[in-house]
Amino acid sequence: MPSKAASVPQGPYPMTSTRDPVLFELFKNAVHAIADEMALTVVRTTYSGVLKDNMDFSTAFCDANGRLVAQGLTLPGHLGSIPSALAAVIEKYGDSISEGDVFCLNDPYAGGMHLPDLFVFRPIFHEGVHAAFAAVICHHVDTGGRVPGSNAADSTEIYQEGLRIPPLRLYSKGERNETLFSLIETNVRAPTMYFGDLRAQLSACHIADRQFLELIARHGRDTVLEMLDQLVDYAERMTRAAIAKLPDGKVSFEDWIDDDGIDHGKPIRLFVTIEKAGDQVSVDWTGTAPQARAAINNTLSYTKAASYAAIRCVLEGDIPTNEGFFRCIDVTAEKGSIAWGELPAACAARGLTGFRMMDCLFGALAQLVPDQVYAASDGGNTGISVGGYDAERKPFIFVDFTCGTWGGRPFADGLDGNSNMFANMASQPVEVIEAENPLEILAYEFVTDRAGAGKYRGGAPYRRDYRFTETEGVLQIRADRQTHRPYGLYGGYPGEPSQNVWDPDGEARRMPPKFTEIVKQGEIFRHEVAGAGGWGDPLEREPAAVARDVRNEIISGVAALADYGVVLAADFAVDELATVAERERLREARGWTEVPDVLWQKPAL
C-alpha cells in the first residue's frame, strides 16, 4: 500500500516557479547537501571505528513514495539497496505511517542485505502531511550470532548470523519501542557501541528533517514536492541521453570467486550479460553459480546495487544517482543463485560477492566501451574481525575493512591503496586501532612486485601485520583472489594474488582466503591485498614511469627488465638504447600477433 503522502504530480508541471532552471539547480544542490550533511553527522557522532574511520555507512533522502532522490557521499552498495528496504517498510505499514515514527530493519529476507547493516528510516511531515523520508544505513560491529562481529564467511544459514529484525517501528509517534530496544540489547555483544551508532543514525535523520522543513519554509510545500519529482525525472532524462551515446551491443563476461570458505578450493562462477539498446541497459546474471553453502550469497537488492554502480561508472559524472537513474537499468538474476539467495542462505560475507561482481561487470563493459573501463581491482576490501572477552569478561570487537587498490585505467595507473569502487571507504588508522583494541600493527606497507604490469600498471597493494595482545579471541577473515587473480585488460598482466599468513616471521603458515580461527596472545597474522590488473601492453609503458616505480620500490629492478623491458643504471637512469633493444627482443619472444583483450597469466618468455 502507498504511504499516506501528499499527492505528487507525475506529468508536466503547471507552476512556473518549478520551471525556473536557476531555482531547480539551487534546489537540486540543496537536497544533495541534506544527504551529505547526514553523512557528516554520522561521522561526527558515531562510536565505532567501522563507521567513523572505515565509513561503512550510507545516507540518502527519499520522497514520500519511497523513491530515492538524493544520496550522500557514501557507499554505492548501500544506496542501490535502499529502495528495496524502504519499499518493505511502506508495504507493511502503508497508511499507518505517522509523525514521530522511526522504522528499522536488517533482515535480508524482508528488505535488508545482511544482518550487520541496519536500515533506519524516518518519515518527515509538514503540517500533518507526509512529505519525505530520511534514510541511514550503518554497518554495526556486532548483531549477535555464532561469532563476534556477526560477519563470518563460514556460516551455513542465516540463523547462525545474529538477530534478524524485520521492518519494525523503532519509535512510534515519538515513543521509543522499549521491547525492541531490550531485544537488541539482549542479543548483541556490545550494546553500548550498538546504541551509540544507532543514535548517530537517528541524529542524521533529525538533521534531514530540520533542513528539509527549512526548504519547505523557503519555497512552499507544493513547489518542493513538485521539484522532488522533477529531480527524479531529470535524472532519468540525463541517464537516457548518456546511455544513448554508448554503442549498442550485447556482451558477456565470466569470472570466478576462489571458494565460499567451506568448500575450499572449489571455485564459484560469476557470469553476467549486459545488453545495451538505445537508451536502456539490461544486466542479466543468469548463469551465475547456485547459492553457496557459506555466507557469500547476495540479496537481489545488493546485486542490483553492484549493477547500478558499474553502469554509473561509464556515464557522465553530473547525473544524479536516484530513482530516475535506476529506471534505465533492468537487473535480473536467477532466484536460488548467489546473486539472489533464498532462505535460509547465509549472507554475512555477501560484500565479497558484490565487489567481485563489479570486476565481472567491468570485464563485460570493457568490451563495449574499452576506453572507459579499468582492469580488475584487488577483489574488494578484505574483512578482518577479531572478537572475544578480556580477563573481566568484558567483550571486545574489532571490525576492519582493509581497502586495497584499483586496476590500471585506459589513461593512467590504477590508484595505490584506494578502496574498491563499490565501497567508498577508508582504512582505519593504526593509532586508533591500537588505542581501542587488543591489537598491535607491526607493518602497514606497500608490497613490491605485486601490481599487474601494463602500459598503465595496476595499483600497488599493501600488507598489514596484526599482533593480538589479549589472552584469546576469534579471528575472521573474508578475502579472495588467491587463486583467480585480478585480470588485466588489453595486454595488461594480472595482479599478483592475495595472501593470508599466520606467524609470517616464523612458521609462515599459508591460510585460505576465508577462515575463522582461534587466536592467542602474541600471535601474528598477516594479510596481503591482491595486486590489481594492468591495462595495455607493458612494453608501451613510459621508461621514466618504470624507473620512478623502481625508485619508490613499487617494482624491483628485476621486474623492470622482465616485465617492462626497461634497462636501468645504478642511479635509476634509463639506458635508452638498451631498453629499445630489450623491448624488441621481448616482443619477438612472446610472439603476439595482436594485443589480447584479457591475460590471465604472464606470457612465457
Q: How many CB atoms are closer than 10 A to CB 40?
A: 14
Question: Is residue 602 pLDDT above 80, yes or no?
Answer: no
The pTM for the full model equals 0.92
Chain segment 240-276, per-residue pLDDT in tens: 999 999 999 999 999 999 999 998 889 999 999 999 9
Q: How many CB atoms are closer than 10 A to CB 469?
A: 14
Mean pLDDT taken over the chain = 92
pLDDT at residue 590, rounded to an integer: 84
Averaged pLDDT for residues 473-484: 94
pLDDT band at 12 (very low <50, low <70, confident <90, very high): very low
pLDDT at residue 423, rounded to an integer: 79
pLDDT at residue 8, rounded to an integer: 36
pLDDT at residue 591, rounded to an integer: 80
Q: Read out DSSP for 325-364? A: HHTTEEEE--TTBTTB--TT---TTHHHHHHHHHHHHHHH
pLDDT at residue 444, rounded to an integer: 94
Domain ranges of the chain: 16-237, 374-539
Question: Is residue 1 pLDDT above 60, yes or no?
Answer: no
How far apart are the C-alpha atoms of 582 and 9, rounded to whole Å?
68
Asked whether 387 and 397 are in contact (CB, 8 A), the reply is yes
pLDDT at residue 75, rounded to an integer: 85
Chain segment 269-290, per-residue pLDDT in tens: 999 999 999 999 999 999 999 9
Chain segment 197-243, per-residue pLDDT in tens: 999 999 999 999 999 999 999 999 999 999 999 999 999 999 999 99
Question: Is residue 6 pLDDT above 90, yes or no?
Answer: no
Averaged pLDDT for residues 314-327: 92
Averaged pLDDT for residues 351-357: 94
Q: How many CB atoms are closer than 10 A to CB 333?
A: 22
Averaged pLDDT for residues 411-415: 95
pLDDT at residue 7, rounded to an integer: 38
Averaged pLDDT for residues 535-544: 96
pLDDT band at 417 (very low <50, low <70, confident <90, very high): confident
How far apart are the C-alpha atoms of 387 and 149, rounded to whole Å?
7
Chain segment 573-600, per-residue pLDDT in tens: 999 999 999 999 999 988 876 776 655 4
Of the CA atoms within 13 Å of residue 426, those in its CB half-sphere come to 11
Question: Is residue 79 pLDDT above 90, yes or no?
Answer: no
Task: Give the helix ranges, DSSP H, for 220-349.
Answer: 221-245, 300-312, 323-326
How far apart are the C-alpha atoms of 318 and 334, rounded to whole Å?
33
Averaged pLDDT for residues 99-121: 96
Question: Is residue 2 pLDDT above 50, yes or no?
Answer: no
Question: Is residue 16 pLDDT above 50, yes or no?
Answer: no
DSSP letter at 2? -
Strand partners, 57: 138
Report the relative pairing of strands 395-402 and 382-389 from DSSP bridges.
Answer: antiparallel
Asked whether 351 and 151 are in contact (CB, 8 A), the reply is no
pLDDT at residue 264, rounded to an integer: 87
Q: Read out DSSP for 7-35? A: ----S----GGGG-HHHHHHHHHHHHHHH
Strands of 472-478's sheet in order across: 395-402, 382-389, 472-478, 514-520
pLDDT band at 319 (very low <50, low <70, confident <90, very high): very high
Averaged pLDDT for residues 154-162: 95
Asked whether 298 and 353 are in contact (CB, 8 A), the reply is yes
pLDDT at residue 293, rounded to an integer: 94
DSSP letter at 565? -
Percent of all residues in the chain with a pLDDT value above 70, rounded to a whole number: 95
Question: Is residue 5 pLDDT above 80, yes or no?
Answer: no
Averaged pLDDT for residues 319-339: 96
Averaged pLDDT for residues 474-496: 94
How far apart are the C-alpha atoms of 522 and 76, rounded to whole Å?
38
Averaged pLDDT for residues 384-389: 94
Chain segment 558-570, per-residue pLDDT in tens: 999 999 999 999 8
Strand partners, 129: 126
3-state secondary structure of 290: strand
